[in-house]
């Protein structure tokens, strides 16, 4: 089930990216915990980019593919 992106949800995600907070993201049955980096357009899709501290890689999540998210702070 795809998440419905309300202005409040977008504001929470944008705020997390500005502040560099941790965010849990559920996509296709897998949950990721990343440090929020930015919102961007990637391959013509609005996307959320997070940093995975354990591996040092950036993960890109198309907003249309995110099932759930939660800002969990530092």
Determine, yes or no, domain membership for 32: yes
Tokens for 61, please give them: 């999540």
Distance between CA atoms of 17 and 50, rounded to whole angstroms? 8
Contact 22, 72 (CB under 8 A): yes
Partners of 53 in beta bridges: none
Task: Please check whether residue 1 lies inside any domain of the structure.
Answer: no
pTM of the model: 0.88
The number of domains in the chain is: 1
- Give residue 74's pLDDT band: very low, low, confident or very high (50, 70, 90): low
Task: Indicate if the pLDDT at residue 1 is higher than 80.
Answer: no
- What per-residue confidence (pLDDT) applies to 36? 96
Q: Which domain holds residue 51?
A: 7-73
Whichever domain contains 15, its CATH number is 2.30.30.100
Give 12's Cβ-side CA count (13 Å radius).
14
How far apart CA 52 and CA 24 sit, in angstroms, is: 11
Residues 16-70: pLDDT tens digits? 999 999 999 999 999 999 999 999 999 999 999 999 989 999 999 999 999 999 9
């Amino acid at each position: 089930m795809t998440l419905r992106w309300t202005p409040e949800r977008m504001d929470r995600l944008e705020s997390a990216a500005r502040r560099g907070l941790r965010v849990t993201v559920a996509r296709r049955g897998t949950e990721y915990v990343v440090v929020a980096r930015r919102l961007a357009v990637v391959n013509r899709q609005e996307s959320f980019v997070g940093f995975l501290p354990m591996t040092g890689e950036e993960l890109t999540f198309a907003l249309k593919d995110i099932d759930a998210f939660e800002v969990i702070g530092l």
